[in-house]
Structure 1
């Protein structure tokens, strides 16, 4: 009778252990194991074995249930790569990047570039000092500005021709280099009236500056800084001439 009662108790324990859901063991997260709440593990990770022969069968089943409920993950842990921050755009950030490289350019380019501002500044200063508008000086200033606009387009063309140049002789670079020359030609056709001629030259200077600063690949930093300074001075010189045309009386220089 005693043996029958013990067998019935063991059978009931087996049914209880089988029906009870497994619980996640968070202390073994590295292995990802899921064990039963009645698992017979001590702190060292070894199975507790009882010397009672009546409970050997129950312990053997618990060990089998432990192995059955374990989940092993062989996949390596992959860390999600963070997106690298993109560098700030250098298209028109002249104050931060390019202006500090102005004086690092070749000396001949700097000297010739700033000397080229004399035909822009001289007529405007002379008319401002004498408080008179001279059409001959204004025409000479516009003609010189048109030649400079055409020169800037040719510089773009020549920049794209060498094999070692970062700019390729494609449709974008070569076609854009022709646009300033066409604007200069249109300005000379309208030279009878100083206002549309000077306005066309100012537009040509602005388009050329936009090409040199934003059309990739661009020129070196020192050249972009030099181009910006020269274009700004030329723009205000031509604008001053247009203003004097409306405020000061006309006088012949010759």
Structure 2
């Protein structure tokens, strides 16, 4: 009797274990099928938006470089016709001593040291005059240029360069080079560092300075080409 009861308990336990246990192979197949179903579901593509407002603001906020010296000179040339008649006549007639020196050397085919020195001396006086013009322009109370260290100090530099040029009285070449430097420095001051002159004056001033510069260079070049002959022989 006890043996029969014991067999019944074993049979019930075996049936309960058989129905309550899980099969690992079936679990794996179920998980795989669920993944396949999930992957088969298609989602609509997402649209990405790029904000370009900041880029546009950076482009618009980019400041333009300041105009260069030659750009300012190009705009001033438009007002050359507004120059007063006395300024035009006196300015261009003042080029005669500059142009006459290389013309005399080229026509005579002889380098004349007295003529070359006269050209250099005249150029030194013009350089000194340009410095004095800046000084006088800064003195009136209504002038846009104030009588400060910048304006008055820069107006003295051309006069010093002209004085140094006259110290080379024995040699025309270094004197002419110093006058050329004085013309360039004074023109640079008037156009870029202290651009307060009227537009017509800066245009006229640029043309006169360029012609004077080329005349001095032409004299120095002809000096190396033609033989030297003094007008006043000792």
TM-score > 0.5, shorter chain as reference: yes
Matched, 1:178 2:156: yes
Counterpart residue number, 2:172: 194
Alignment of 1:59-78 (within 5 A): none
Counterpart residue number, 1:158: 136
> Secondary structure of 2:169's match?
coil
- TM norm structure 2: 0.70
Out of 221, 228, 232, the residue aligned to residue 250 of structure 1 is 228
Counterpart residue number, 1:104: 82
- TM norm structure 1: 0.65
Alignment of 1:52-131 (within 5 A): 83=61, 89=67, 91-94=69-72, 96-131=74-109
Out of 176, 185, 188, the residue aligned to residue 210 of structure 1 is 188
> Secondary structure of 2:69's match?
coil
> Secondary structure of 1:240's match?
helix
Q: What are the Cα deviations for residues 13-41 of structure 1, in whole angstroms up to 9, with x where unaligned? A: xxxxxxxxxxxxxxxxxxxxxxxxxxxxx
Q: Please give the alpha-carbon distance, in whole angstroms, between the structure 1 residues aligned to 2:78 and 2:93.
A: 21
Counterpart residue number, 1:231: 209
Matched, 1:219 2:197: yes
Residues paired across the two proteins, number: 175
Q: Please give the alpha-carbon distance, in whole angstroms, between the structure 2 residues aligned to 1:220 and 1:95.
A: 12
- Displacement after TM superposition at 1:131 (Å): 1.0
Q: Please give the alpha-carbon distance, in whole angstroms, between the structure 1 residues aligned to 2:204 and 2:170.
A: 32
**Larger gyration radius, structure 1 or structure 2:** 2
**8 Å Cα contact 2:73/2:202 also seen in 1:** no
In structure 2, relative to structure 1, the CA distance for the partners of 1:239 and 1:167 (3 Å cut) is same
- Displacement after TM superposition at 1:129 (Å): 1.3
In structure 2, relative to structure 1, the CA distance for the partners of 1:107 and 1:124 (3 Å cut) is same
**8 Å Cα contact 1:90/1:97 also seen in 2:** no
> Secondary structure of 1:142's match?
helix
**8 Å Cα contact 1:92/1:214 also seen in 2:** no
In structure 2, relative to structure 1, the CA distance for the partners of 1:195 and 1:113 (3 Å cut) is same
Counterpart residue number, 1:137: 115
Q: Which has the higher helix share?
A: 2
| Structure 2: gaps spanning 5 or more residues | 1-56
Q: Which runs of 4+ in 1 moved over 3 A?
A: 82-88
> Secondary structure of 2:166's match?
helix
- Displacement after TM superposition at 1:253 (Å): 2.4
Q: Please give the alpha-carbon distance, in whole angstroms, between the structure 1 residues aligned to 2:133 and 2:73.
A: 24
* Higher relative contact order structure (alpha carbons within 8 Å, sequence separation ≥ 6): 2
- Displacement after TM superposition at 1:91 (Å): 3.3
Q: Please give the alpha-carbon distance, in whole angstroms, between the structure 2 residues aligned to 1:203 and 1:210.
A: 11
- Displacement after TM superposition at 1:95 (Å): 5.5
